[in-house]
Structure 1
């Protein structure tokens, strides 16, 4: 069995689970350290299109602490592992109800379209709500990486992973081609579907949260940029990551909507406030 996941956090949790179950030597994990809800996916399945995505993602991924190098090498490694997957291997793809993992699911299924192998799907959002009996309206993790290892193990052991039929695969492949035909750089999950939107889609939300934070401050002084990004993340029902939100914050600074104090090299180095 080879498990395919989207993100370093869920990769670490799943590897821990497999070790706890004593099957870490039989079951392997391929992790795409990507954020498929952001950045271009235009013709990404074609040769040499990954470089165009890297060029765009470099705007969002920090070069501090070798983050950019780790990201780039991690993505390239995952691609190589997919290409080297032996035919006849059973693949399990882990996903949840957000544009990041759902886009990743369609991309991987397309990459494996010529491979003769069984593919199963575990939707952690659905399994979390069903197995852990989450009441309607209660908190459900926004992405698989938010699920702690002990609950992830319950999902793996008691869940009902779905076998992807040939018909399912064809549908997912077509949906990928539709996504890969567009040049948008932001995708959201809405009404059970991936929807491509303009890159500035969340700008108004960032501004609104900044207004709320500044209204609580009697001095209307600068706030830590990390404080604002954290506030946005805490109230956003989409999974796009803090790096993208900081990228948009910097765009708003460039546009003169926010003013900044400090060095924009990394989030911890500067403060912001809405321009007076």
Structure 2
């Protein structure tokens, strides 16, 4: 049995569940890319895949992730899928369980992955934990948005939800996904169930602007505030890229080097201009 997840933190909790019930244990494979952001046009062609890699190079440039696209520290998801398909051909009794929680990262990854596995219909199972109640460590009922927030013992209940992806789903889901891929917009949001909507690359900018005042704030603190307050969030590297884009557009003053999120501070030019002068400025 092969288990597939879409977020690194999901691996550990799933393996702990295996320890509690070895009968459903197996290899855990992580799809690492975040398909909820970035270009998807012609994603299943060499040209489209390279265009996506180039976009990630630009997003990660100068920050902590600079070079990760090409230095081997991030796995090649295309190669993983190719190896998975070859294994399923060579081992006709092997099955795949795809784990997804109700968040745009997992659902986008599900669409990207399952669209490539139609020939193995009947052997590809989905465990979509959509609006399902679980019990947390305090004994309280909650509805998890991420697999990693589910206690390992609760996975023993969740595994009963595994079902084959139907032939109808293999027909309809890839069609819907391909329509979105060709739309050319850069942000995907989960509206409910498996329904994704598309937004422009600038979608998160307005929420960032609300947090940027006339006072200096380090980019890392700004991103932390965004992740703690915004209803719709995304990865910190995407947010760092958007802050740099706002600075490049002339909206922000910058102190430090526009590299990693701890390397520079920003403030709103408009808000700073509207602030009364400091004592030092007035005296000068």
Superposition deviation, residue 44 in structure 1: 1.1
Size of the aligned set, in residue pairs, is 259
Q: Name the stretch that deviates more: 67-76 or 196-205.
A: 67-76
Corresponding residue for residue 171 of structure 2: 170
C-alpha contact 2:37 2:188 (8 A) present in aligned 1: yes
Distance (whole Å) between structure 1 residues aligned to residue 265 and residue 46 of structure 2: 41
The runs of at least 4 consecutive aligned structure 1 residues that moved more than 4 Å come to: 130-135
C-alpha contact 1:222 1:271 (8 A) present in aligned 2: yes
Distance (whole Å) between structure 2 residues aligned to residue 119 and residue 22 of structure 1: 20
Cα 1:238–1:42 change in 2 (3 A) is: same
1:180-214, CA deviations, whole angstroms, 9 ceiling, x for partnerless residues? 22211111112442011111011110011224xxx
Corresponding residue for residue 281 of structure 2: none
Cα 1:102–1:269 change in 2 (3 A) is: same
1:118 matches 2:119: no
Cα 1:204–1:110 change in 2 (3 A) is: same
What is the DSSP-based 3-state SS (H/G/I as helix, E as strand, rest coil) of the residue aligned with 1:256? coil
Corresponding residue for residue 226 of structure 2: 232
Superposition deviation, residue 245 in structure 1: 0.8
Point out the structure with max Rg over C-alpha. 2
What is the DSSP-based 3-state SS (H/G/I as helix, E as strand, rest coil) of the residue aligned with 1:36? coil
- State TM-score, norm by structure 2: 0.80
Cα 1:235–1:85 change in 2 (3 A) is: farther
Structure 1 unaligned runs (5+)? 212-219
1:154 matches 2:153: yes
Please tell me the root mean square deviation across aligned C-alpha atoms, in Å: 2.6
Superposition deviation, residue 243 in structure 1: 0.6
Corresponding residue for residue 242 of structure 1: 236
Distance (whole Å) between structure 2 residues aligned to residue 121 and residue 239 of structure 1: 25
The partner residue of 2:206 within 181, 204, 220 is 204
